[in-house]
C-alpha cells in the first residue's frame, strides 16, 4: 500500500510541475511575471499588478460536493479544497483551482470566460456558490474571496507523457523553440528549477523570496538551452573519441556558473574576426590556449575543452 501511495504522490507532483510550466510558457514575457512554487498554495503567480493563488488537483471528475467536502484525519478536520484556496492573501487577490477534469454535472452549470493566465476559465454559478456558502458556512470575508475563485481544466491529464507532449507543442506554437531536442532540454531545466525552489522551506517572507522563479530566469533558460544545443553540435564535430566526448559533457554539467568570470576574461582577449576563417576544431584549440594563459591551475584537458566550447557558443550568441 505504501509503495502505491508513493507512486500516486510522484504522479501528482509531476502534474503540478506540468501545470506550473504551462503557466510559465504562456506568461513569462509579461510585466513583473514570477512564479513561487510550494508557497502559500501549490504555486503562486505574480503578473502585472495581480497575484494568483493556485491549487492543483489531479483527481478525476471533481464535483462541487467533492471540492467543498471536509475530511477527517484522526481527530482533526481537514478543510475542503475550496476553503484552502480561500485562505492566503487578501480579498483582492485572484484564486484558481487547476484540475484535469470536472464532473459533467458540475461543469455544465459553470460559466466559461476568457482568462488572463490561461483560458478558458470557469466560474461557479450563483446557485453553486450558494450551495458552497451554505454547506461550509462561509463568513462574509470568505464569500468575498469566493467571487475571485475560478477553475481551469488543463489540456492534459496527470499522465506526464501527454503533458510533456502538450507543453512542447505550446513552445513550438509560440516560436520559443524549433526542435524537439531543445524542447526536451527546456522542460528538463524548468523541472529542475521547480524542484529546487519547491524544496526551500518557508519560515518567513525572506524564505518566500528565495523561492521565486522570475521572467529573467525563464528567458535565460531559453538562451542557455540554445547554447547547450550548440555545445553538443560543436562537440559532435570535433575529432575526439566517444569516451573523451562523454568526459567533456560531464565536465560541462559540473561547472555551471563556476567559470563565468574566467570565460568573460577569455572572451575579452579574443578578436572575433580572427576566428572567422578557422574551423571549429581550430577555434576550440585557440580558446584552450587562451584559458591556459589566464588560469594555469586547470589541469583537466576535458574541462578546458568544455569551457572553450562554452565560450565559443557564448561568442556566437553575442553576435545575434
- pLDDT tens per residue, range 269-303: 999 999 999 999 999 999 999 999 999 999 999 99
With a cut of 50, say whether residue 47 has pLDDT above it: yes
Determine the Cα–Cα distance for residues 113 and 144; give it in Å rounded to an integer. 19
Could you give the residue ranges of the DSSP H alpha helices within 148-179?
Answer: 160-173
Q: What is the pLDDT of residue 83?
A: 96
pLDDT tens per residue, range 119-131: 999 999 999 999 9
Q: What is the pLDDT of residue 177?
A: 64
Cell, residue 241: 573519441
Mean pLDDT, residues 39-52: 93
Across all residues in the chain, what is the average pLDDT? Answer: 89
Q: What is the pLDDT of residue 293?
A: 95
With a cut of 50, say whether residue 4 has pLDDT above it: no
Residues with Cβ within 8 Å of residue 272, at least 6 apart in sequence: 315, 319
End-to-end CA distance of the chain: 55
What does pTM read for this prediction?
A: 0.74
Contact 126, 116 (CB under 8 A): no
Higher-pLDDT residue of 26 and 72 is 26
Amino acid at each position: 500500500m505504501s509503495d502505491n501511495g508513493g507512486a500516486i504522490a510522484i504522479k501528482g507532483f509531476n502534474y503540478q510541475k506540468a501545470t506550473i510550466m504551462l503557466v510559465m510558457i504562456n506568461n513569462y514575457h509579461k510585466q513583473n511575471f514570477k512564479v513561487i512554487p510550494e508557497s502559500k498554495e501549490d504555486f503562486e503567480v505574480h503578473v502585472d499588478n495581480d497575484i494568483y493563488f493556485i491549487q492543483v488537483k489531479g483527481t478525476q471528475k471533481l464535483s462541487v460536493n467533492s471540492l467543498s467536502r471536509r475530511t477527517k484525519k484522526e481527530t482533526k478536520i481537514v478543510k475542503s479544497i475550496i476553503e484552502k484556496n480561500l485562505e492566503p492573501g487578501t480579498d483582492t487577490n485572484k484564486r484558481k483551482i487547476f484540475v484535469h477534469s470536472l464532473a459533467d454535472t458540475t461543469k455544465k452549470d459553470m460559466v466559461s470566460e476568457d482568462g488572463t493566465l490561461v483560458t478558458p476559465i470557469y466560474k461557479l454559478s450563483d446557485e453553486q456558490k450558494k450551495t458552497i456558502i451554505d454547506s461550509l458556512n462561509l463568513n462574509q470575508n470568505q464569500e468575498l474571496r469566493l467571487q475571485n475563485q475560478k477553475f481551469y481544466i488543463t489540456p492534459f491529464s496527470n499522465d506526464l507523457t501527454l503533458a510533456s507532449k502538450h507543453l512542447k507543442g505550446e513552445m513550438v506554437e509560440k516560436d520559443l523553440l524549433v526542435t524537439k531536442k531543445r524542447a526536451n532540454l527546456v522542460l528538463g531545466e524548468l523541472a529542475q528549477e521547480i524542484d529546487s525552489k519547491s524544496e526551500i522551506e518557508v519560515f518567513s517572507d525572506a524564505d518566500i523570496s528565495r523561492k521565486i522563479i522570475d521572467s529573467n530566469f525563464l528567458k535565460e533558460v531559453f538562451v542557455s538551452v540554445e547554447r547547450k544545443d550548440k555545445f553538443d553540435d560543436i562537440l559532435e564535430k570535433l575529432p575526439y573519441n566517444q569516451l573523451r566526448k562523454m568526459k567533456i559533457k560531464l565536465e560541462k554539467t559540473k561547472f555551471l556558473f563556476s567559470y563565468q568570470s574566467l570565460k568573460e576574461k577569455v572572451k575579452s582577449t579574443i578578436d572575433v574576426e580572427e576566428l572567422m576563417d578557422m574551423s571549429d576544431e581550430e577555434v576550440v584549440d585557440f580558446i584552450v590556449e587562451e584559458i591556459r594563459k589566464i588560469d594555469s591551475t586547470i589541469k583537466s584537458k576535458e574541462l578546458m575543452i568544455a569551457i572553450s566550447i562554452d565560450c565559443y557558443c557564448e561568442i556566437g550568441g553575442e553576435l545575434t
